[in-house]
Each structure stands twice: as C-alpha cells, then as structure tokens.
Structure 1
Amino acid sequence: MNAATPIPAAIDWARVRADFPLLDRQVHGKPLVYFDSANTGQKPEPVIAATDDFYRRHNANVSRAVHALGNEATDAYEAARGKLARHLNVRSDELVFTSGTTFAINLVAYSWALPQLRPGDAIVLTRMEHHANIVPWQLVAQRTGATIKVAEITADGALDLDALDAALTQEVKLLGVAHVSNVLGTINPVREICRLARKRGVVTVVDGSQALPHMAVDIAAIGCDFYALTGHKMCGPTGTGALWARREHLAAMPPFLGGGEMIRQVRFEGTTFNDPPHRFEAGTPNIAGQVGLGVAVDYLGALGMANVAARETELLAHLTEEMRKIPGLRIIGTAPDKAAVVSFLVEGAHAHDLATLLDLEGVAVRSGHHCAHPLMQFYGVPATCRASLAFYNTHAEIEAFIAALLKVRRLLG
C-alpha cells in the first residue's frame, strides 16, 4: 500500500467527504478532526438512509414469514450477503453473517477448534494480534489441553517470517494472524503465510478487521481456511460482520448457538440442523445492519478499493512526514508496508493525557492498549496514542492535527 499510486482526477474527495454527515460537526467549539477510523469508521449518507429505509418500509423478520414484508426483509438480507461475497470473491453460501470479527473468531474457536484440538496440540498466534484473536484461543486451549505459541515481530513492527516458519512445528494445528495490525498498521503477507501453513497442514484464521477498510481483499487468492471481518470499520453499521470459511469446514462444524433459523426440524428426541451458513445464524439477526453493510460494500465498490488505498497512502505519507518533524515524538510501527494507522508517544506525556488535550482541540485519536496488551509489552509501554486515517480525511485535517499536537506538546512542557 506504500507504493505511490496516482488518484484519478475523476474522484472529487471533497465531494466524497460530504457524504459523511458526522464529519461536519464541531467538538468543544472547534471543527472535528476524526482520526479514529481504526476504532470505527464513519457512515456515509447511503448507509444511514438504507438502515432508516429498512425500518420505515420493510421491517420484518427474515425467513419466518410468507407475507410481503417478510419476503422483502429476507430478500434484502440475502442480497447483502451476496454483495459482500462478491466483494470478497467468495461464494455466498460460505459466508456466515455475524456481529463482527470477535463473534466470528469465537465461532471458529468453539465450533471448529474445540472438537478438533487435543492435549499436545498447539496454536500459533502472532505478537501483534488483537485480543479478539488471542482470548478465544486461550479459552479453547484451557479446555482441550492445547498450548499457545507466539510468532514474534521485528523492532519496526513487521512479522518475523523466519520465526513464524520455525514456529509451525508438527504439533501446530491452527495459526491465527491479523491481515493488518490495528496498532502498527503493518500489512502482513497473508497469502504467503497461508501458503506456508497449508504446506504444513495448519489451518489458518485471518483477522481481516483492519484490512477491509483500506484495500481490496480477495479471499480466494489468500488461500486461508477462515477469514473474519467487521462491518463497522468499513463504513457499515455497528453490530455487523461475517465469517468466511471453506465449505468443507462449515459442513463439518457443529452449531455454536442453538435456536431459531439454524434448524430444519426440532423434536424432543433430537434436532436436524439447517445447512450452512444458516446453521450458524441462530436467532433474529441484525437485519437492518447487514442491509446497511451491503450498501457500504456498494459505496466502497463505487469508489474502487484501489482508489481508496491510493488516497490513504497519500494521506499517510503526509501525516508521517509531519509527525517525524516533532521533537520527542516516537512512532511505534514503521514496517515498510503499512495501512493508514500511526501509533505514537510524545516524550514526557502519558497517552491518555495527550489524547484528552487533543480532544479539547477538536482532534479525536484513540489512546490506550488498543486491545493488544502483548504488543504493548513488546515495546515496553503501557499505552500509545493512535491516529488512524480514512479516505474521507483531508490534508488540511493533517495540518490541523499537527498544529494541535504542537500546542499540546508545549502545554505538557
């Protein structure tokens, strides 16, 4: 993503920005500079309108009624699944709707890994994983007798591929890896990693939460076994997302949750379950949210993910250049292949104090451990600030952020 790709003049990024109503507001009497898109992305008008329209005109439950509204709701819900499947280059019947990546990874942990793992087996995770790709595996390991192994990173925040190769020993049954680090912005070579794992017979789970907002993702080309994603980071509503899994895994996996929709027939003597993906979608889903996610996919597709990536690369280069001019500022994560995420610290300032003072200047950044305690431990810090960009940000906002950062640094002495 660092390679400079010219943005077509046909895209008016100021006009694109105008699609996002929240970006027009003020905070503490100052124009909002929203640099927290890695936490959650803002929503364009078409997504907001789609969710509103669903509740106003089509609200009914899916797959439970033969009346017109029920059919409309079901059609819209399944159409959203189809849109997302095409966006990812997968089959729609391999795509399970979830509330997001956390649920998706837990689904793999309890429905695939729990029945499969035995004492002596091992799970490999990278140092840069989000807690959502650590804690479920710890819970399953405790119940199965499996162990956790860690693939380390280099000082600049790149995954040490030689260490990963060495970690994939005979007892390893599963590898969990982030496509893009939520703290470092590092883009991992997941296609190469999955090919390496496949040669060893290791099942791969890719956390795609931070990849989908920034780049085109072709799951078929990656060659993983499972791919988890979150909708709210890619312009979709909160409480949306999906798990893609190879068909043979889905067919063999027992249900994770029981209830409506995931059954064919229930008798007290036993239950016959539905086919995937519906087998894993118990209960009433976030119908309006997933419909909105389908519209978010349409929106990103109309922009073109190559154009999104190019725009963000340009913004990231500007932001990084300006931040490096600030005395006492340390950027954490300088791998050569990065998404538009910059974690940083300022000498003598706690990350929370820094973020609080920036907020008073109208600048929204995240501070804390970013659900990545093991990564903080690697760098020897309790927390960082994180500025994360999206295609709807501007060069003027970067200048405003730098001015605010310099002002805050003076205040902190």
Structure 2
Amino acid sequence: FIPWQQLAKRQQATFTVTPVKPDGTVDIAALLAAITPQTKVVAVAQVTNVAGDTLPIAKIAAKAHAVGAVVVVDGAQAVAHLAVDVQAMGADFYAFSGHKIYGPTGIGVLYGRADLLQHMPPIQFGGEMISEVRDDVSTWADGPIKYEAGTPHIAGVIGLGAALTWFDQSVNAAAFDNEHQLVDQLRAGLAAIPDVTVYGNQASLATVSFNLTGIHPHDLATFLDEQQIAVRAGHHCAQPLMARLGVPATVRASFGVYNNADDVERLIQAVQAARRYFHGID
C-alpha cells in the first residue's frame, strides 16, 4: 500500500484504493470496475491478512492486462496456505516473505516476468549487478542479478532454501484441508459467543480476526496470552481497513501446519472466559 501511495505522489498519479465490504473482504466487482485504460499498476494481495479473503488473481490480471496494466501480487499470506502458480494466475510480479513460509526473517522472494525485469532499471548499485564499469558509463548484468547488488544474505538464502524444500516435500493438500477445517471450527465457535464480532467469511483462509465488544483487542490478547494462547492484536499494518471497519484494531488468530482442533477449542474456551472476566459475568 505505502510504496504505491508514495510513488503516486512522486509521479503525480492517481492512487485508487479499492473498497471493502462490511465484513472487511475486498469488493471484487468494485475492484474490477476501477481498472480503466488509464490504469498502469494493479497491486493486490492474493490473500488478505485481516479478513483472510482470497482474491481471484487470474480474473483481475485478465482485466488489467486488457488495458495494458502490470499486476503486482503480494503473496505473503497465501504462499504457505495454498498451491501457487504465478504463471497460471497471470501475475507479472509476485512477492512473499521468508518467515511466512517457515523460513528465516529478513529475506523474501520476488518473482518477476523476465521481459519486465530486463526492461526495468536497477534500484541499487554495487558489486555483482554490473556488466562493465568505465569512467563515464556503466552497464548492468542481465536478469535477476541486476537487482541483487552487493553481498547477498547468504545465511538467509540457505535457510529459506531449506524451508522451501521442506515445505515442498512435507506440506500437501491434506494439510491445507486441515487448516480450512480449523478456520471453520474457530469461526463457528466464536460466532456462538455473545458479544464477539468475527470478520471475513466462511471462505477466509488460515486467518480469523475478531473482537469482543467493549474490550480493547490488546486487553483481550493479553488475557489470551496469560492462557498460553498466542494471537496478534493491533491494526495488522492495515489502518485504512480498520478505519473502514470502524474499529481501532482486531485480534487475529493465524493457523499453520502445526495447529490442531484442540488448539482451536482452547482458544474458544479462553475467549468465553475473557468475556466472563471483562463483562463481569458469573
């Protein structure tokens, strides 16, 4: 969000933010309608990080490409929870963080179409990314190396490579199905608790965001933490979405391949206990 916002300011371009529905999911019809012949870049998340909705990237890319726009996909929330085929979805660029797929922090992956990478100028200058250096002019290496100036994050690359190898060999459709079942279990359990608001919908992927009426999300998260339940509370780097939902923040539970139904039941029971504690219910 922020890089495109700032680029638009520098280039005096129009920065259009797609609207969301009351449950926090993206309004796909409005998004597609916003893509016009004047559109240059469409930047979307394959899976959003609060409501957990999955966007139809192939459909969005088809509309964008029809008007000559480039499609940039944030895959951080998607890559560990579903099968990803960047070419099939029509992504021109696809990015994700290493720690989102059980790898180290401080490193990630950016896929880009070869013809676009060849056309674009480098963003940093230094060793390895050059072809030839003279007093008055320098030329750049071809391909991805043009964008990898200086000494690479060698330890991070090795760690991320190991994580990707493990993920490819160990995580399968059954693991993805288990995550879906856990999301369904949690959504149903939270929805049955009075005073709890659950965002997103039944198609939410790997993430469930919720609030307890009258209780700040940080207080609820602290209560859960004392029950040895780890959640995240805050605006989740999505302050514009929080403003549209009319809340300061949410509590978010995120699932991985290590979670099971007992974890979900413990969380549901802990939220029930938090409601009794904060609302003074015996």
Provide the TM-score with structure 1 as the length reference: 0.66
Unpaired segments of 5 or more residues in structure 2?
A: none
Q: How many equivalent residue pairs?
A: 279
1:383 paired residue number = 249
Matched, 1:174 2:41: yes
1:337 paired residue number = 203
Match for residue 359 of structure 1 among 225, 239, 250: 225
1:135-167 Cα offsets, whole Å, 9 max, x none, are: 111211111111101221222333322212221
1:223-247 Cα offsets, whole Å, 9 max, x none, are: 1211111111101111121111111
Structure 1 position 345, deviation (Å): 0.3
Q: 2: distance between equivalents of 1:391 and 1:241?
A: 20
Structure 1 position 314, deviation (Å): 1.4
Confirm or deny: 8 A CA contact 2:183 2:206 kept in the other structure: yes
2:10 paired residue number = 143
Matched, 1:191 2:58: yes
Confirm or deny: 8 A CA contact 2:51 2:209 kept in the other structure: yes
If asked which structure has higher relative contact order (CA below 8 Å, sep 6+), I would say 1
1:130 paired residue number = none
Provide the TM-score with structure 2 as the length reference: 0.95
Structure 1 position 333, deviation (Å): 1.3
1:243 paired residue number = 110
Matched, 1:283 2:116: no
The one-letter amino acid of 2:213's match is E
Q: 2: distance between equivalents of 1:162 and 1:339?
A: 20
- Where has structure 1 moved over 4 Å in runs of 4 or more? none
Unpaired segments of 5 or more residues in structure 1?
A: 1-133
Confirm or deny: 8 A CA contact 2:61 2:71 kept in the other structure: yes
Confirm or deny: 8 A CA contact 2:97 2:107 kept in the other structure: yes
Matched, 1:162 2:29: yes
2:270 paired residue number = 404
Q: 1: distance between equivalents of 2:67 and 2:132?
A: 40
Structure 1 position 325, deviation (Å): 1.6
Confirm or deny: 8 A CA contact 1:214 1:305 kept in the other structure: no
Confirm or deny: 8 A CA contact 1:215 1:308 kept in the other structure: no
Give the root-mean-square deviation of aligned CA atoms.
1.3
Confirm or deny: 8 A CA contact 2:24 2:245 kept in the other structure: no
Structure 1 position 284, deviation (Å): 1.6
Q: 2: distance between equivalents of 1:402 and 1:165?
A: 37
Matched, 1:296 2:133: no
Identity %: 45
Confirm or deny: 8 A CA contact 2:73 2:93 kept in the other structure: yes
SS in 1 for 2:210: strand
Q: 1: distance between equivalents of 2:32 and 2:194?
A: 38
Q: 1: distance between equivalents of 2:174 and 2:73?
A: 24
Confirm or deny: 8 A CA contact 1:355 1:365 kept in the other structure: yes
1:66 paired residue number = none
Match for residue 273 of structure 1 among 133, 140, 155: 140
SS in 2 for 1:277: helix
Structure 1 position 203, deviation (Å): 0.9
The one-letter amino acid of 1:307's match is A
2:240 paired residue number = 374
